[in-house]
Chain A
């Protein structure tokens, strides 16, 4: 979603931002895991984005820009600070492993336990949860994810790989436990 320079006026902000409302709210709720906090986060994001719209660089990605504002706003909130208390290691030290023939996800699909999967996503550390959601739910490219999270593409790839691995592990534990 690139904005041509001639369209960069305050009047276009609503036109650009409101179609992303549902997505941003969904992402905010996943981050905060609380409806009230999600609403506060989204509202603050829109107010900040509108205020800073004149500084938006025309020709760049508006969706990535507003997601970045939302994420930065979240990171400075009480819940965000708590969630980031554990700093992730972005070193790609975990070798890629095959999912295997009898994997948790195939078992999960068979059982159709969506709630279980949602729980597994919730249990992911913030830095895994956000990159996974931006890729799978928002269907952002690695480039967009990198812009939204302010990290290099290589980090996006390694973090995404580790997030999927962690998700599979969470699912395995939930299935074995439940």
Chain B
């Protein structure tokens, strides 16, 4: 039996030798009866210890207890918890303020357009809805001279369904403006004209149906003037009248 091989037998069985060493030990063991017997007894002991060593098993209850212990504990430090809470509160606060701001904006716009609608309704309810009664734009337009701080053009309606009934001076938030009443198929439509810089910024939003008062509305700005066309006529009629006014303003 060679001592240098004997020293390597355990490492050989443990799979810890290099490939060339494994080959050399394997060759030697096959030719050396003593080493062959030695390695057999080492293998037997190794296997026996492997079996005998697997002796203890944990109870299911203990396993579950440890699993709960490591699974039920979120790894948050107090600082992290506070930071998370602070972040959440900040986000909620900003979201709340934003929602409040958006809500206020929406409410302000709604109130502003309601004022336009109120002016329209009040005019129609009046026994004298207009101060200048005329279907002639060349009569109505000059009537406003000296009454309002601006002038405007009115459309030619001879080839349209619309009829001009007259006009009056109105005030929106202490700002003077012109109100013109048009008729289309028994629907009366108000056209309001104000100086754009004088009206509530909430009124500078896009046009569309005013669902909360069941009116259709078109609004736009041109050459420093803010126009509102409002009435219970169809959206198409309101748009058509708005187009006529826009074209007139260009002339």
How far does the Cβ of B124 sit from chain A's closest Cβ, in whole Å?
69
Q: DSSP class of A's interface residues: helix, strand, loop or mixed?
A: helix
B54 touches A142 (CB 8 A): no
B223 adjacent to chain A (CB < 8 Å)? no
Most buried by A among B35, B40, B41, B44: B41
Interface size on A, residues (CB 8 A): 49
| Cβ–Cβ < 8 Å partners of B55 in chain A | 26, 29-30, 118
B10 touches A109 (CB 8 A): no
Residues of B within 8 A of A (CB): 1, 3, 6-7, 10-11, 14-16, 34-35, 37-38, 40-42, 44-46, 48-58, 62-63, 65-67, 69-71, 73, 75
* Cβ contact of A117, chosen from B6, B7, B34, B52, cutoff 8 A: B52
Q: DSSP class of B's interface residues: helix, strand, loop or mixed?
A: helix
B69 touches A137 (CB 8 A): no
B65 touches A105 (CB 8 A): no
How far does the Cβ of B7 sit from chain A's closest Cβ, in whole Å?
5
A30 touches B70 (CB 8 A): no
Find residues 6-31 in chain A having any chain B CB closer than 8 Å to their own CB.
10, 13-14, 17-18, 21-22, 25-26, 29-30
A161 touches B10 (CB 8 A): yes
A50 touches B45 (CB 8 A): no
A117 touches B58 (CB 8 A): no
A43 adjacent to chain B (CB < 8 Å)? yes
* Interface-facing stretch out of A57-65, A74-82, A128-136: A128-136
